[in-house]
Amino acid sequence: MSEDWQTKYGPRRVRRDPPTLEEAIFAAAGITEDQEAQAEIAASLMGMDYEPVLAEVKKTTRIAARTGTTRVFAGEQGAQRAIVVERRVIRKRVVT
């Protein structure tokens, strides 16, 4: 689909921003623990060369290890979460 398309409500446009390097590394860290694999994934997401991304991954890992930062992904594998959305209808009385 092209960037702009026509709907019955008017033209629509999708804004496509590539992820930042930090976001790409965070996403790669959620997939694998291997630093080289993280660098490959982040580099492919960013469209960058492998070497500078690998250096940034190693730097990020060192900083996280030094500060004791851990990432926890909550939830059990395969467990479904129930989400309930309720809408209250407020009826206003119209005085004429």
Domain of 49 in residue numbering reads as 1-96
User: Number of structural domains, the chain?
Assistant: 1
Q: Is the pLDDT of residue 54 over 90?
A: yes
- At residue 77, the pLDDT reads 62
Dist. CA 53–CA 50, nearest whole Å: 5
pLDDT for 2 equals: 53
Report the percentage of the chain scoring pLDDT > 70.
Answer: 73
**Helices assigned H by DSSP within the chain:** 21-31, 35-46, 50-67
pTM over 0.75: no
Structural tokens at position 4: 């702009």
Q: Are 64 and 38 in contact (CB under 8 A)?
A: no
At a CB cut-off of 8 Å and minimum separation 6, what does 21 contact? 42, 46, 48, 53, 56
Band of residue 78 on the pLDDT scale cut at 50, 70, 90: low
Q: Between residues 46 and 88, which one has the greater pLDDT? A: 46
pLDDT in tens, 31-46: 888 999 999 999 998 8
